[in-house]
Every structure is written in C-alpha cells, then in structure tokens.
Amino acid sequence: MRDNHSTAVTRRRFLKSAAAAGGALAVPLIIPASALGRGGVAAPSERILMGVIGVGGRGSSDVGWILGESDVQFLAVCDVSKTRREAVKQVIDRKYDNKDCALYRDMRELLAEQKDVDAVLIATGDRWHALASILAMRAGKDVYCEKPSCLTIAQGQEVVATARRLNRVYQTGAQRLSEPNHIFAIEMARSGRLGKIHTVYADIRWRGGMRHDWLPAQPEPPKEVMDWEVWLGPAPWRPYNSGYMNSGWYNFYAFATDVAMWGAHAVAQALAGIEMSEVSTIELEFGGPDSTMMTRLSNGVKLVLFREPGDVWKPCKYWHGACGERFDGPEGWAAAADGYAKPDVSSPAMLDDYKTIVSQYLSRAQRPPNHVRDFLDCVRTRRPTVANPEVMLRSMSICLAADICEQLQRNVKLDLIKYEFVGDPEANRLKSRTMREPWCIY
C-alpha cells in the first residue's frame, strides 16, 4: 500500500522539468552542483535509481552503505512496519535534501508504480528473499538480495532461472567474497600456493536451533502500523505474536533455515577456493543433531561444515571469529573470519605477499573490494556479479542439503548439476516447501 504520492527525481522527470524551466524563465537558474554531476556526485540522468524492500536492522545498514555511493539515488522505501519505513525515509530524504522518497508497505505496489527504479535492495525476513527477488526481476529490476537467498533448493533454482531468462543482474549478500582477508585465503587455495587442497572448513555455527511450535495469538496491530498478512507472505499462516518481531522469527522453521543462517556466507567462501567445474556431487554424513557435518565432494575434497554450540564468536580450532573458512593443503593452510586484522596462515611468511595476492585478484577479476560497488558496476556493465545466482544456488543447496540430512537423520547425496538427491525420493520431497496463496512462484 502506498503511503504518499510525492514525486521523486527520475531521469525522465528531471530532464522534462529542466527543459520546461529553460523555456519558461528568462533569468539564470541556480542549480545545485549535485544536479549537474559535480562535486563527485553523478548527474540525475547517470544515477542508478533504487528502491529498498525491508528495512529492519540489516536493511537499514545496507541502505547506509549504498547511500555512500555517489551514483545511486533511492526513490522508494517499502516495509510492513510504519515506524521502520518512516525512519529510513528520513535518512534518505536528509541525504538528498528533499522529501521525495516514496513509502510503501506492500512491495507489489512499489514494483508496479516505480517504473523508473533500476534495481532493488531486498533485506526482508528470509521467508521473503526468493519470492521478492523473483517478483522484482519479473518487474524489470536488478536485485541485491540479502542472504540466505532462498529457503529451499527449488526456490533457489527459480531465482537462477528467472535471472537467466530475463537477463537480470543479481547479487546475493555474501559480502565476504569481496573483502580482502577472505580474498587472500581463497586465492591462496585457488592459486595452488597451498598445494592440492584436500580439506576445506566452513563455519555453520547457529545460536538458536529450529522450533516447530506456534506462539500464542495476540491482538493484531492495525494494518497501517504492521501489515501481518504481508509480513507472513509465502510462509505458513501463524497468528500474530510480537515474539516473532525483531529477529525472533530466526528460531522458527516456518520462517527460516538452520545451516544456511551462517553457512550462506561461509560455504560460498569455501567453495570459491575450489575448482568447482570438477565437482558433480556432494555426500553429506549425518553425525547427530546440531553437530559438525562431514561431507565429501566428488573431486575428493573433504568439506567440513563446522559447528559448535554457544556463541558464534567463541574462538575455535580453525578460526577465532564468525563466518570463517579455512583451506588445508600439503603446503600449509590459510583461514579468514570476521574481526581479523590479517588472515590466519600456517606460516607467517605466507603473509609477505598479502597485498600482492589481493591486488592481483582485483586486477584479474576487475572487481572492487566492496560488495555493493561490485553490484552497482555490474548493473552498468551487465556482467555477472561475484555472488551471482549460480554461486548462490550452489552454496545454498549445500546448506539446505545439510538441513535435510539432519531432518532425515541419515546420510544423503546431492547432485550439484541437476540439484537432485541421488536415488532418494524422500529427500527430494524436501527440496521445496508449500508456499501460501497468493504468494506462490511455481
């Protein structure tokens, strides 16, 4: 539902109004330097016009990140919470010194009305990520979507199919793929400096676990204040309870995943250091609920999905922060995680080439060490992003296969070409979840 009808500056509106002003006024116009593309700010006709869908903690943080890029302008904010959407509108309006940012509580209205929007940031709850991405791409928008980017393998496949069919640019929010410490560790593995990699570790530690119960019903807020129906979206119906708010939904299977919560980052980082063109299947070994899971890729590499109970920031034997990955080879090992000044390595001498290795990657790949900037550059060039749909599907499918392995409490084998479990109809039935009407995408 649209909250206001203010007019945002767009390419067509800017050029039209500028032309009209030029013909109607006989005195010189005083035009801000930013409107002419001076002072390091792109002119309106050169800006990437964006909307944001979902502005909770992560969404508002991402908006602040993107606002730092001079060639972007936000035209619209959408969130089911009135308080949140109005707060982020104020941030955006202050940035552009106007009151033009449009407000919506239903993303379908934003996608239908905001024809000038080139791309959208999606930072809703996890239950919405795949559906919102697909609807946005169908509406002609490029997509930056926070992780985990899907709740099921089938949803991930549909995101890939939609991006391919419509030639949309898509980036999943696995931002560590663009951070120097992780780039170094990945390049140490990929380049052969560690020898032939035999074991890779990925951090899948999770702080809560999955609940399957319902919270008791509470009085539902007015739709204008909190649109509960849209909040639920494709997830199973539940009565409103404030306990689901402010990330409380993380712990409930109806709205989230387990392994992919952290694994959406770390598995993508781990796979980036392996030659995945040689990999066709992964075997996952059930070791007990909420335990470290041993897996083996078809090229012989052992992928350890590492999990310990408790605080995700608790130091472990492979790294000392969160969202870590580690690569082991006969010539040594390299690891990175959040909170590092420099990566961990088996020999301090390996760090002598730290700057060289990172700069060589950035030059060869022609990518910036900034995940949002990579997305924006790709919106302009139409090349695939570093965390493109195929990267998302592969890493998410391994995480979701680990969830299915734990649900079934037995070993499973996933074909990473067809994205089907090998000879396992029961596991294949868990590749999708029922999506509530009218929020279906199949």
pLDDT value for 418: 98
User: What pLDDT, on the 0 to 100 scale, is given for residue 187?
Assistant: 98
What whole-number distance in Å separates Cα of residue 19 and Cα of residue 276? 53
Higher pLDDT, 419 or 316: 419
Per DSSP bridges, beta strands 102-104 and 344-345 are: unpaired
pLDDT band at 10 (very low <50, low <70, confident <90, very high): very low
Q: What pLDDT is attached to residue 262? A: 84
187 neighbors 358 (Cβ within 8 angstroms): yes
pLDDT at 1: 59
Instruction: Give the Å distances, CA to CA, from 292 to 104, 281, 353.
Output: 43, 20, 33
Q: Which residues contact 423 (CB under 8 A, 6 or more apart)?
A: 413
Residues of the chain with CATH 3.30.360.10: 176-209+257-429
Question: So what's the pLDDT on residue 313?
Answer: 67
Q: Are 203 and 266 in contact (CB under 8 A)?
A: yes
34: CB partners within 8 A, 6+ apart: 41
Q: Does domain 11-22+31-174 have CATH number 3.40.50.720?
A: yes
| pLDDT band for position 319 (cuts 50, 70, 90) | confident
Cα–Cα distance list, 350 to 36, 187, 199, 338, 342 (Å): 48, 12, 19, 20, 11
- Cα separation, 404 vs 152, whole angstroms: 10
- With CA atoms as reference, report the closest residue to 266 among 225, 236, 226, 306: 306
> pLDDT value at position 308?
78
What is the DSSP code (8-state) at residue 315?
A: -
Instruction: Supply the pTM of this predicted model.
Output: 0.90
Residue, of 86 and 251, whose pLDDT is higher:
86
Residue that the structure tokens 């494709």 belong to = 234
Which has more pLDDT, 12 or 68? 68
Cα distances (angstroms) measured from residue 441 to each of 129, 339, 438: 12, 39, 9
Q: Which CATH class is domain 176-209+257-429?
A: alpha beta
Write out the residue limits of the CATH 3.40.50.720 domain(s) in the chain.
11-22+31-174
One-letter amino acid at 264 equals: A
Beta partners for residue 104, in sequence order: 2, 78
Percent of the chain as helix, strand, coil, to the nearest 5? 40, 15, 45
Query: For position 291, what pLDDT does the model report?
Result: 87
